[in-house]
Structure 1
Amino acid sequence: MSPASLPRAAEPAFYAAVWLLAKQIPPGKVFPYGRIAACIPCPEGLSPDLYRVQRARWAGQAMAVCPDDVPWHRVPAADGRLIIVARSREEQRRRLEAEGVTFDARGRVRMSLHLWEGPDPQWLESHGFLPQPNQR
């Protein structure tokens, strides 16, 4: 296992958690990979330090293979870049624009206008997620 690889045994639960969180993002809003991953507890047996460093990348890997009912287009990088690997950036932008999301001159989502605050803390707790860093 390379340092950037999520252990295979942890993939199903981690990927399911990423997808469940992504499904909560409302139309016209975005929620970056890192913010999604920060809500997911460190998988058992994994170094918390490694998890902190790699979790956003692993969330990206989960989104690259998400089921069709997951709104993958609502998950950009933290700086608003569209970096989805297994899908088309043009399609991601088209879908976001159809929901009213706007972009700056560099083609990045205007995060100050479209960043979602995230799930309700009670929803997170009831589904086994961690509070968002700004709620801890």
Structure 2
Amino acid sequence: MNKQTKKIIIFDDDEDILSICSYILEEQGWEVHTFTDCNNITEKVAGVLPDVILMDNWIPDAGGIVATQALKKDEALKHIPVVYFSANSDIQLLADHAGAETYLAKPFDLEELERVINTVLISN
């Protein structure tokens, strides 16, 4: 089976979320890259070229909205779907403002995580 490994980047400063998500996604055959800040975001993403990005709202230093907007302005990276995730009650507004493809409210269950990721993969 030479199916290319799917790659995902998770931007979150919560180490617990990173480790849980990494574990679940690696079990499913994903190659997971994690960052606890969004500094030099375009360089980080260009270095991995993931199939999907999970973006936390409160990621240091600039925050998820600014980080997502930076990616969406980059010709080489703007096609990569961003799943915005946050515990904020305004998550849909935040995701729209950021230009993210979809969102995932925290706390989320793992089925929901998988469903959202697979949805953006199919539609992209």
TM range (shorter): 0.3 to 0.5
TM-score by length of 1: 0.30
Larger RCO of the pair (alpha carbons < 8 Å, separation 6+): 1
Give the TM-score of the pair, scaled to structure 2. Answer: 0.32
Instruction: Select the structure of larger CA radius of gyration.
Output: 1
**Which structure has the highest strand share of the two?**
2
